[in-house]
Amino acid sequence: MQRVKLDQIDRRILADLQADGRMTNVDLARHAGISAPPCLRRVRALEEAGFIKGYHAQIDPSALGFNVTVFAQVGLSSQAETDLIAFESLVQQWPEVRECHMLAGETDFLLKIVAQDWDAYQKFLTSKLTAAPNISHVKSALGIRTAKLQPGVPIEIVAPVEE
């Protein structure tokens, strides 16, 4: 069941699940203004259509000892598609790298990396990242604090017009 056009109920479901992925189907249905069985069918259809890619818990990094977040701008010596794919595949093997974004401009990739401390990051930097094939340069920026962390996208929900 491929759904392409989203109605307001679908948008409400997506917005609610994006805000709280653990919301029960009953609560989700109540928020969307429908009963639970059709709500569950809509959620399954949204999953099958690829609108919902998965569910996860938001973990506090410092609670697990990851006190350093670094954003690394990585430049490659070659931007041939095979080299870009090879770098992306290599990054998949590094658990410290939590995000990898290919960019347009003078930086090829932006990596979000977590480490227990600055020394652990430097070890990762020298033993893995700069030692990787095709790396031309790496610029590291240490994250000081996070003022906003809002995964997902803004979902517009139009309120129904009251008569």
pLDDT in tens, 46-61: 999 999 999 999 999 9
Are the CB atoms for 159 and 11 separated by under 8 Å?
no
Q: Are residues 76 and 111 in the same domain?
A: yes
Residue 125 pLDDT exceeds 80: yes
Q: Which position has the token pair 């056009």?
A: 5
Spatial separation of the C-alpha atoms in residues 67 and 70, rounded to whole Å: 10
Q: Is 56 domain-assigned?
A: no
| Domain count along the chain | 2
Least Cα distance to 114 among 62, 43, 40, 156 occurs for 62
Domain interval for residue 77: 61-142
In total, the chain counts a number of residues equal to: 163
pLDDT given at position 4 = 67
Run of H or E including 76: strand 68-76
pTM of the full predicted structure?
Answer: 0.86
Q: Which of the 8 DSSP states describes residue 96?
A: T
Query: What percentage of the chain exceeds 90 in pLDDT?
Result: 91
Query: What percentage of the chain exceeds 70 in pLDDT?
Result: 94
Q: Are residues 73 and 132 in the same domain?
A: yes
Spatial separation of the C-alpha atoms in residues 89 and 35, rounded to whole Å: 43
Q: Is 132 domain-assigned?
A: yes
Q: Are residues 135 and 69 in the same domain?
A: yes
CB burial class (10 A; 0-12, 13-18, 19+) of residue 12? buried
Are the CB atoms for 100 and 91 separated by under 8 Å?
yes
Lowest mean pLDDT among 37-41, 130-134, 147-151: 147-151
pLDDT given at position 149 = 92
CATH number of the domain that 136 lies in?
Answer: 3.30.70.920
Instruction: Note the pLDDT tens digit of each residue in 93-112.
Output: 999 999 999 999 999 999 99
pLDDT given at position 1 = 46
Residue 163 pLDDT exceeds 70: no
Q: Are residues 76 and 137 in the same domain?
A: yes
Q: Is 54 domain-assigned?
A: no
Structure tokens at 12: 């409400």
- Give the C-alpha distances (Å, rounded to integers) separating 15 from 1, 10, 52, 118, 160: 21, 9, 11, 37, 16
Mean pLDDT of the chain: 94
